[in-house]
Amino acid sequence: MCPLKYDKYFIVFCTLKNEKGATTEKIGQRIIELRTQKGWSQADLARACNKDRQAIEKIENGKVNATIFSLFEISKALEIPLSELVNL
């Protein structure tokens, strides 16, 4: 169980850890939505955040629990705050 903290990034981590399935799928769908709004392919996003396309595909499909650092890199590449990516 996560201790009570007000650090928004810690809260994101706790949410991801406690609700893996539903949360990772929602974040993946949000990444797809934001990526397609920019007209980017998975390969485009992967290049922009220094990842491989397969890693982006797994995150978007909710097959992996992305690290907070990976989500930060993706949000930076999409030019949005991390909090917007995870809907905080």
pLDDT at residue 75 above 90?
A: yes
3-class secondary structure per residue, the chain: CCCCCCCHHHHHHHHHHHCHHHHHHHHHHHHHHHHHHCCCCHHHHHHHCCCCHHHHHHHHCCCCCCCHHHHHHHHHHCCCCHHHHCCC
Q: What is the mean pLDDT of residues 9-16?
A: 54
Q: Cβ contacts of residue 19 below 8 Å, gap of 6+?
A: none
pLDDT tens profile 55-64 = 999 999 999 9
- Pick from 27, 75, 25, 22: nearest CA to 51: 75
The CATH number fitting domain 21-85, selected from 3.30.450.80, 1.10.260.40, 1.10.1370.40, 3.90.75.20: 1.10.260.40
Res 86: pLDDT: 84
